[in-house]
Amino acid sequence: MTTVGIVSYGAYIPRYRIRVGEIARVWNDDGEKVSRGLGVYEKSVPAMDEDTVTISVEAARTALENAGINPQDIGAVYVGSESHPYAVKPSATIVAEAIYATPDLTAADLEFACKAGTAGIQMCMGLVKAGYIKYGLAIGADTSQGKPGDALEYTASAGGAAYIIGRDKLIAEIKDTYSFTTDTPDFWRREGQEYPEHGQRFTGEPAYFRHVVSASKKIMERNKLKPEDFDHVVFHQPNGKFPKIAAKKLGFSDDQLNTGLLTPLIGNTYSGSSPLGLAAVLDEAKANQLILLTSYGSGAGSDSFIIKTTKGIEKRKNVRPVRQLVNRKEYIDYAIYAKFKGKIKGVALER
């Protein structure tokens, strides 16, 4: 059996932050109560010139710098996002061109709400394992949208992570991957709609928890592993509360969860969410550690991965660690936020 895994990774989080309390002030909400309820205190905001493509390029460049490989050896680029700047015209081609990976490669954009990034990792794993390509680049990135005044506005943020998948020079092996998928419409945005809609409480039990818990349980069962066998666990993080509840349901401790839990400080980066959480864990991980990663995408599905770090992880450190990106921040108020996000009527940004 050919071993596949992570050759390197890179992350990117825009520097701007808005506090939950500032958003609550505008909508006459109790900011402290909202923060306590959601487990989110501030979120990242993309600047006017940032979008899914620029975030993807930043993350991909860091991944390449960390890997020290020739971009021409990349045979596939997949960008997973629900905020691709173009409805028709790929983000992946811009990214591939910007990192000098063109023209001998395949490229495509993916969308599966918040889990398109991990879906890209699975696709790269397949191509690498089959021997069609040497390296594959999978990215999960978003500049997610929340309707002004909607609960989503407290969490929808921006960021992303890129993973180079290959057979050699691995910093971590991917031992197994398993997906749990159903048609569960908990969150959606139709063609032409500016903001997504969600099914309120429906997004919890039958959507997030059923899929995250089922996928995690199944992959542990078929690998004969228990929660206590893992050093770290990363779940999709739509808010600070859901991953904690999922961890508790499955029997993971706060210590296993906390290294990769970023939502309280950056919000929900959607397709970037669990990939960024994994990146934060890999930043801290030592050799021979076991990590469980389970993403979640509304609609709905979860991709689970069992990842084991190699000695390589101690040799090649991430040049731009995730926590550094989390701490690099500049606060803005709601007015500037509204301008950056194109929410001021009449001065919509040219797309």
Closest CA to 351 of 168, 85, 127, 96: 85
Measured from the CB atom, the residue of 204 and 227 that comes closer to other proteins is 204
The size of the chain, in residues, is 351
CB of 343 to other proteins, least distance (A): 21
CB of 297 to other proteins, least distance (A): 18
Q: Does residue 202 belong to the site contacting other proteins (CB under 8 A)?
A: yes
> Which is the catalytic residue, given 50, 58, 84, 114?
114
The β-bridge relationship of strands 42-45 and 74-80 is unpaired
Distances (CA, A) of 251 to 216, 222, 229, 233, 296: 11, 17, 11, 11, 19
Q: Does residue 205 belong to the site contacting other proteins (CB under 8 A)?
A: yes
Q: Which of 90, 148, 206, 321 binds other proteins (CB under 8 A)?
A: 206
CB of 41 to other proteins, least distance (A): 20
Terminus-to-terminus CA distance in the chain, angstroms?
Answer: 47
**198 counts as catalytic:** no
How far, in Å, CA of 17 to CA of 31, rounded?
15
CB of 28 to other proteins, least distance (A): 12
**114 counts as catalytic:** yes
Residue type, 212: V
**124 counts as catalytic:** no
Measured from the CB atom, the residue of 199 and 227 that comes closer to other proteins is 199
- Using CB under 8 A as the criterion, what x/- string covers residues 266-295 for binding other proteins? ------------------------------
Residue type, 233: V
List Cβ neighbours of 164 (8 Å cut-off, separation of 6 or more). 6, 7, 8, 9, 63, 64, 67, 69, 74, 135, 136, 137
Q: Which two tokens stand for residue 233?
A: 């666990």
Stretch that binds other proteins, among 88-96, 123-131, 201-209, 234-242 (CB under 8 A): 201-209
Q: Does residue 183 belong to the site contacting other proteins (CB under 8 A)?
A: no
> Which is the catalytic residue, given 42, 82, 124, 232?
82
Distances (CA, A) of 8 to 67, 161, 215, 222: 5, 11, 25, 27
Measured from the CB atom, the residue of 33 and 222 that comes closer to other proteins is 33
Distances (CA, A) of 73 to 10, 133, 172: 17, 8, 19
Distances (CA, A) of 34 to 31, 39, 48, 262, 336: 5, 8, 27, 17, 21
CB 170 within 8 A of CB 6: yes
CB of 137 to other proteins, least distance (A): 38
Q: Residues touching other proteins: how many (CB under 8 A)?
A: 7
Q: Does residue 33 belong to the site contacting other proteins (CB under 8 A)?
A: yes
Q: Which of 190, 191, 200, 350 binds other proteins (CB under 8 A)?
A: 200
- The rounded Cα 99 to chain-centroid distance in angstroms is 20
How far, in Å, CA of 237 to CA of 182, rounded?
20
Q: Which of 89, 201, 311, 328 binds other proteins (CB under 8 A)?
A: 201
Q: What is the dihedral of CA 153, 80, 261, 12, to 10 degrees?
A: -90
Measured from the CB atom, the residue of 85 and 148 that comes closer to other proteins is 148
CB of 202 to other proteins, least distance (A): 6
Measured from the CB atom, the residue of 185 and 251 that comes closer to other proteins is 185
Stretch that binds other proteins, among 199-207, 241-249, 250-258, 275-283 (CB under 8 A): 199-207
CB of 279 to other proteins, least distance (A): 34
Measured from the CB atom, the residue of 196 and 275 that comes closer to other proteins is 196
Q: Which residues are catalytic?
A: 82, 114, 236
Q: Residues interacting with other proteins, by CB under 8 A? A: 33, 199-202, 205-206
